[in-house]
Amino acid sequence: MATPSEVALHPGFPIIKLANRRAQMGVTLHLRPVEAKKNPRGYEEKLFLGLTNYDATHRTPNVYLSHALDGPTFRLLAHVILTGTFVEAVTSGTLGPDPITRIVETPLPDGHAAHFYQWREFKGSAAKDGTMVSRVLTLTWNDTPHHAYPWGVSLSSGPGRASATGAVMPMGTPMTKVQMQLSPVQMQQWMLLGVEALQ
């Protein structure tokens, strides 16, 4: 897991910075040379997403986590979000099966229910002591009508285990979590500027 100081050493190409009273999100693009047999382009694209939650009283950084999204994955997410088909992509399994995509239903006081359409990416690494550390990125759309901030982005970190496919899946409750709510305009800005940077 990168720290803010480590990210500062390799700033990459800045894409966007969004903030509200409780959180800040920054995204940068990094190009890494790789062998042609791993990627025919000779490089891989990584969009580093950093999320910071602030102490509401003192406005000091409280928790920071980062996550690296692969360029091709970001392009697909941007496509379904910008074309308004994110919900369909989740419900149809286009973005992957459960637990990658999931629909969470939450009862509302008026008797109706809010539906949270989620896409998740599971990553992780081995800690110095050999234990596995899980990192999960979650994008969520809340279908409550007239919601000013229907999009949510969250990062979590905690104990993990390696799956058969090589992903690191979380084990139990995450030890650290940061999250931020985004308006439709903020989400579209993020997606459009990310695609522009990749182009």
Query: Strand, helix or coil at 197?
Result: helix
Phi, psi of 163 (to 5 degrees): -90, 175
Identify the pLDDT of residue 4.
44
pLDDT tens for 163-187 read: 877 778 888 888 999 999 999 999 9
Q: In this predicted model, which residue has the larger pLDDT, 195 or 164?
A: 195
pLDDT tens for 110-159 read: 888 899 999 999 998 877 787 889 999 999 999 998 899 999 999 999 99
How far apart (Å, rounded) are the C-alpha atoms in residues 83 and 160? 34
Distinct helix (H) and strand (E) counts, the chain:
4, 10
Count of domains observed in the chain: 1
Q: Per the domain annotation, does 6 fall within a domain?
A: no
Task: Find the domain containing 181 and state its range.
Answer: 26-33+44-93+104-197
How far apart (Å, rounded) are the C-alpha atoms in residues 178 and 137? 10
> What percentage of the chain reaches a pLDDT higher than 90?
61
Q: Per the domain annotation, does 109 fall within a domain?
A: yes
Phi, psi of 174 (to 5 degrees): -65, 150
Q: Per the domain annotation, does 81 fall within a domain?
A: yes
Identify the pLDDT of residue 57.
67
**Predicted structure pTM score:** 0.87
- Residue holding tokens 């409280």? 62
